[in-house]
Structure 1
Amino acid sequence: MSNRIAFLGCGSMNEAILGGLIAGGTDPADIVATVRRAGRAAELAERHTGITAIAGEEEPENNVQAATGADVVILGVKPVGTAALAREISGALSPDTLVVSVAAAVSLEQLEAALPAGQPVIRTMPNTPARLGRGVVSVSGGTHCSAEQLQQAKDIFAAVGTVVEIPEAQVDALSAVSGSGPAYAFYLAEAMAAAGVELGLDPELSKLLARETVAGAGLMLAEPGADPTALRIAVTSPNGTTERGIATFDEQGLSGIIAAGARAAAERAAEITKQLG
């Protein structure tokens, strides 16, 4: 049996999920997306043949229109606007419509307060590699979410990467690792490129070496059963150059620095949730 899925707000993340679903066999006719601009709606309809894309500048009630009759509604606007969007569509939802949020820092309590009593809600936390089908997505069920609905959400997000189920209390910690994590990897590549320049390499060459090395190491980590510790040890010959580099990282407290950064990211996520409350 097909399910009608409404993507309310279709930026890069929701479009990645939408595209992954179609690639996985979902009928485009079962998908509706809302955006602000008519040009963006036309772009989506052309790129994903068969979906319905509705622009707010042409249809002011586009979100309500899309949510009406939907089995699953995925809220894909910025965190500051997520609760308002939930309130906007409340009257269009059936009691068993599953509402899923991809917004960072918006709690299940905040979502449930903005929706009709008893509405099933799921909070997710995807990361940016989802755009390439290599993301990590967490799912956390709300008060009235059934096991079947949670599985339905898992099936949807499996289209863009690895799905993990966690209690909401762990979302900030997960966000600090996988949500912010891609930026940490990019930061590492930046630092490696700068180190190469300091050692005398041409800046463009150094950037290329850093980029391809980090990307290649990521592919090795993506292999089935890969373990980062085992991979590091395999590259670290006793008394060799890599061992000396790793020892220096340890002396400088790099692992502690990373832990402190992740802790700060998690604390900031909690702060934003309170501000949105």
Structure 2
Amino acid sequence: MFLRIFHCSPLGTLLRAFTTLALTTLLASCGTNPQELSGEAEATLASGDLPGAIVLYEALLREYPDDLVLQTRLALLLIRQGDTAAETFQWKVAEERYARAWGLGKEAVETGSLLPKLALARDAGGFPWADQAEVLEALAATGDLAAQAKLAQGWVRAGDPERARAAYSALVAASPEDANALMSLAQLVAESGQKDLAIGYFKRVLELQSNSVAARGSLADLLEETGAVDESEELRVEIAEAAPDRPFGWKNLKSFYERQNNLEGVARVQGKLDALAPKEVKKRPLR
């Protein structure tokens, strides 16, 4: 915080003016080699003068606005200048630098390392989801599964189930053993009305995580809705018996039997619930 205040203070302004004048002299003496000039900025940074180094890089970019290395280095220094990622202003300035650098070298292999930084800057800077999604999509296209997961989660939060399904489908295709991604995809597919497809996904989740109560419960509901009553009952019994001392599974099973008009089943499960109910303690009368 002190560095940012200093950078914007009258003394900081005076320093920038002095540094700009010094840079003008340096430009005249060193010619037009940005590498030599950035060496001076790095020496300033090494001396502990971060604001001074930022001023030098800003002045250098006025002379060399299309230099990719200068763009990214200044972005890193601007991020370092902030106390935390919550200092939105610093992140937004850094994002501008990364976005410009990315735009200058999208086809260059070395610019791939810019995308994580740009994604981080847009996320921490509170940028609109569309701006964040643009970078995450580019990252996901490079095979970054973490970016693909963030993209899918982001579309869920943005209220776009169609894009969320597409993003999760791509994630599952790239990482078929990812049970969490499969679970999310199954839920989205079920919500879209594709029950048979969702059933397949939930069954796959259970193959990977056999103790998933959420997957077993969702699968039981879908099987009941599609007429596979016996399979649904079997799953609900498994849920209840997996935690026999807890009433949740038994209550769920009782509701299922009630919907099926299975009075025998209702009575049997009610006996289990009665056994779990706390016993009423009779109070002894006061003498």
TM-score, L = length of structure 2? 0.23
Between Structure 1 and Structure 2, whose CA radius of gyration is higher?
Answer: 2
Structure number with the bigger relative contact order (C-alpha 8 A, sep ≥ 6) is: 1
Q: Name the one with the larger strand percent.
A: 1
Q: Name the one with the larger helix percent.
A: 2
